[in-house]
Amino acid sequence: MQRTPEFRALSRWGQVPVLQHGKAVLCQSAAILEFLAETLGTFGSTDAAARRFIREWLYWDADRLAPPVYGCYGVRLGEQGLLPIAVDPVLAADCRRRLDAALNSLDAELGGRSFLAAGARTIADLCCYGDVIFAELCGIAPHRWPAFAGWAGRLSALSGWQPPFDLLPMADAEIA
């Protein structure tokens, strides 16, 4: 779908996700999350310092957490024959090393706190946990990081929470 002219008219980079709300069209997860928190008045903060802290977590996710998560996920899909790739073991090990480093940082930051950026869940938690779930699909054992495991448990216990493939069925997925 993201290759169609109609989608490209919405998403200047031809990437998902895209949110169209009235005349506003937003690309990139963090921008969409900030817009939704602001518009809906939930999972954000009215405090300027807290909003900056939330934004730092969104940028940290894009820079340090998401790349190794999805690198490891791609390796795992290749190992399962679900992607037509073979990954050099050295590169696979580097993805795992970077993911372990990110999860070590996440666990250290969560020590003594229930949520990342505030006393309550925010878009920072939702964003990071949305990526972490894919790490869990790669066989990452959350119990290695106790603060991280507790945080993940609190988020997955939220009312309305569902695993990603329950929300985004992959029956129509194409591997190109």
pTM over 0.85: yes
pLDDT tens sequence for the chain (176 residues): 778 888 888 898 888 899 999 999 999 999 999 999 999 999 999 999 999 999 999 999 999 999 999 999 999 999 888 889 988 999 999 999 999 999 999 999 999 899 999 789 999 999 999 999 888 888 888 889 999 999 999 999 999 888 887 887 665 555 44
Strand-pairing partners, residue 27, are: 18
Domain ranges of the chain: 5-40, 48-156
Cα 166 → chain centroid: 16
Residue with tokens 């807290």: 50
The domain 48-156: what is its CATH number?
A: 1.20.1050.10
How far is 100 from 69, CA to CA, in rounded Å? Answer: 10
> Mapped to the 3 state alphabet, what secondary structure does 33-99 carry?
HHHHHHHHCCCCCCCHHHHHHHHHHHHHHHHHHHHHHHHHHHHHHHHCCCCCCCCCHHHHHHHHHHH
Res 173: pLDDT? 56
- How far apart are alpha carbons 94 and 88 in whole angstroms? 10
Judge contact between 45 and 118, C-beta under 8 A.
yes
Contact in structure between 72 and 138 (CB atoms under 8 Å): yes
State the angle between helix axes of 29-40 and 123-137 in degrees (0 to 180), rounded to the nearest 10: 140
